[in-house]
């Protein structure tokens, strides 16, 4: 298929954070005495700190900690920024990006993390050159990538959802793309548990 726009999630396909994003959320929440169910943090992967923390607190019956949310969010952001220096290009990211950029006219990086933080991670893949970031702070505070933001990117690109391909490692990003009408949804990583993905690849280079 001749895709005119390709959306690629930053953490996972492009940047290997070595588990820092999820680990930081886990450490902040458990530091407040919350006992998390196994896999709970994975279910909010790819979300903004606000959405992830609120979901975890409410889902574990700890609404009493919601007044502490602002401080918890700040702790997560500080941790994410600190961990960025340890991030590395994901396996196959450089060659995969170069290959895709030759095949498709427009590539966009996607993230729900605040731009000031996600840009620290993007710096770790400098060989790719400047990347245009799709999601902004206004979208990030609402949590996961939203279909409306992806629809807007499609509109600005002057193409139809059928001409778009979305590549991600978290369910949130791929669900948003599916909600925007994107037909080709590719999950990166060793897992094959995403319910909306219709293609899979271990690394971006496999696409």
The model's pLDDT over 84-127, given as tens digits with 9 standing for 90+, comes to 999 999 999 988 988 888 888 788 888 878 888 888 988 887 66
Q: Are residues 69 and 123 in the same domain?
A: no
Measure the CA–CA gap between 131 and 137, rounded to whole angstroms.
16
What dihedral do alpha carbons 102, 103, 107, 109 form, nearest 10°?
-90
* Least-confidence region, from 2-11, 57-66, 142-151, 172-181: 142-151
The structure tokens listed for 187 are 């999950």
**What confidence score (pLDDT) does residue 105 get?**
77
Does residue 185 share a domain with residue 127?
yes
Together in a domain, 81 and 127: no
Long-range CB pairs of 38-45 (<8 Å, 24+ gap) are 44/172, 45/21, 45/169, 45/170, 45/171, 45/172
User: 108 and 9: one domain?
Assistant: yes
Query: Are 201 and 126 in the same domain?
Result: yes
Can you give the residue range of the structural domain that contains 36? 20-85
137 and 198 both lie in a single domain: yes
Last residue of a domain, one of 85, 104, 128: 85
Last residue of a domain, one of 85, 106, 131: 85
Average pLDDT, the chain: 84
The neighbouring-strand residues paired with 100 are: none
pLDDT of residue 146: 65
Same domain flag for 194 and 134: yes
Global confidence as pTM = 0.84
Q: In the structure, what pLDDT confidence band is assigned to residue 194 with cuts at 50, 70 and 90?
A: low
Retrieve residue 191's tokens: 């897992």
Burial class (CB in 10 A: 0-12, 13-18, 19+), 37: exposed
User: 3-state class of 130 per DSSP?
Assistant: coil
183 plus 121 within the same structural domain: yes
Nearest-5° Cα angle at 178, 177 to 180: 65
Structure-model confidence comparison of residues 98 and 134, the more confident one = 98
- Of the pLDDT bands very low, low, confident and very high (cuts 50, 70, 90), residue 138 is very low
Q: How many residues does the chain have?
A: 207
Same domain, 116 and 141: yes
How many domains in the chain? 2
Same domain for 41 and 96, yes or no, is no
How confident is the model over 190-194, as a mean pLDDT?
65
Mean pLDDT of 12-16: 92
Confidence of residue 136 (pLDDT cuts 50, 70, 90): very low
Check which CATH number belongs to the domain holding 78 and give it. Answer: 1.10.150
For residue 118, what is the domain's CATH number? 3.40.50.1000
- Among 47, 70, 85, where does a domain finish? 85
């Amino acid at each position: 298929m001749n895709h005119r726009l390709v959306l690629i999630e930053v953490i996972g396909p492009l940047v290997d954070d070595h588990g820092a994003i999820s680990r930081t959320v886990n450490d902040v929440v458990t530091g407040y005495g919350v006992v998390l169910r196994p896999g709970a943090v994975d279910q909010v992967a790819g979300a903004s700190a606000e959405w992830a923390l609120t979901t975890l607190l409410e889902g574990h019956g700890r609404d009493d900690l919601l007044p502490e949310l602002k401080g918890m969010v700040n702790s997560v952001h500080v941790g994410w920024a600190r961990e960025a220096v340890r991030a590395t290009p994901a396996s196959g990211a450089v060659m995969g990006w170069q290959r895709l950029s030759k095949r498709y006219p427009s590539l966009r990086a996607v993230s729900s993390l605040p731009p000031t933080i996600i840009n620290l991670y993007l710096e770790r893949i400098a060989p790719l050159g400047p990347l245009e970031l799709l999601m902004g702070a206004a979208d990030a505070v609402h949590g996961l990538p939203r279909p409306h933001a992806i629809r807007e990117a499609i509109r600005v690109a002057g193409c139809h959802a059928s001409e778009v391909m979305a590549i991600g490692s978290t369910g949130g990003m791929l669900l948003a793309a599916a909600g925007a009408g994107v037909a080709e949804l590719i999950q990166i990583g060793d897992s094959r548990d995403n319910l909306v993905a219709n293609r899979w690849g271990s690394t971006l280079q496999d696409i």
